[in-house]
Amino acid sequence: MNYQSTTYVSYDGIKLSGYLWKPENKPKAVINLVHGFGEYSERYEHWAQLFNKKGYAVHAIDYRGHGKSDGRRGYIHSFDDFLNDVYVLIQESEKLFPGIPQFIYGHSLGGNIVANYILRRENSFKGAIISSPWFKLAFDPSAITLFFAKTIKSIFPKFTQNANLDVKGISHDQEVINNYIKDPLVHEKISVRMFVEVYKAGDWALEHPDLINIPVLLQHGNADKITSHKASVEFAEKARAQNKNITYKEWEGMYHELHNELKYEEVFTFVVEWIENQL
């Protein structure tokens, strides 16, 4: 494995930390990784190493406000900020690996971002892997909560508070939970503007699966206490009704971070077999 880190610059001058894990030989394809809310790409190093062993390169960024990248923690001007950061990742991947097939892989908030990216932006991906996406939360906020959030967004959009994530719901592996709690780069900051923008983007994706034009693997644990697996089922069923190329895999009893679950190797095997079927 050949690992390196670098810095990219997004459309508005925000510096983004970039990471690349390369296999020993020329990669069969590149997996462009988009991490979840409050975390960062280096948490996926074990996942990248598994891909490397199978002959795939993994390229990732910490998008704005996360990890080692610049930007106020948990704040965006609009959801397009995330999409534009991912565009930087894709452009750099194409420079690094011209002519090599490209995939995009997003988890949680990253799953929402990836879904919106492939629905809204032109791309040449061989496929997209969407894992435990934040289309909706496992327990949706009430109408009153949403009303106040949208009201505060207009008056004080940068107002930020902790998301109060149920950390025990990320994995059945206690070591993963302990490491998450102790990790100084992990945060739970979210502004009202970011919350509303993500909420609206999730709803928009659920209404537009007809725009899918590449193969999609959508996977979710049905015991996820953080994001709604029922919303993933809804997305997949609507896509199938439009005869879109989507594979939905529901993991029985698994929590939010499928790549960090006790049976993560089983998850990885399923994902890599799906990828190889697209090549």
Stated pTM of the model: 0.93
Best CA proximity match to 92, nearest among 216, 214, 9, 2:
9
What per-residue confidence (pLDDT) applies to 193? Answer: 86
If one counts the domains in the chain, the total is 1
Rounded to the nearest integer, the mean pLDDT of the chain is: 92
pLDDT of residue 30: 98
How far apart are the C-alpha atoms of 137 and 139, rounded to whole Å? Answer: 5
- What CATH number did the domain enclosing 163 receive? 3.40.50.1820
Q: Which amino acid would we find at residue 223?
A: A
Residues of the chain with pLDDT > 70, as a percent, come to 91
Quick one: pLDDT at residue 146?
Answer: 46
Count the helices and strands in the chain (H runs, E runs).
8, 10
SS3 for 9? strand
Q: Residue 191: its pLDDT value, please?
A: 85
User: CA separation (Å) from 195 to 65, 78, 164, 175, 221?
Assistant: 14, 10, 13, 29, 23
| Structural domain of 178 | 2-278
Residue spans of the chain under pLDDT 50:
142-144, 146-161
Confidence at residue 226, expressed as pLDDT on a 0 to 100 scale: 94
pLDDT at 79: 97
Q: How far is CA 30 from the centre of its chain?
A: 16
- Residue 190: its pLDDT value, please? 86
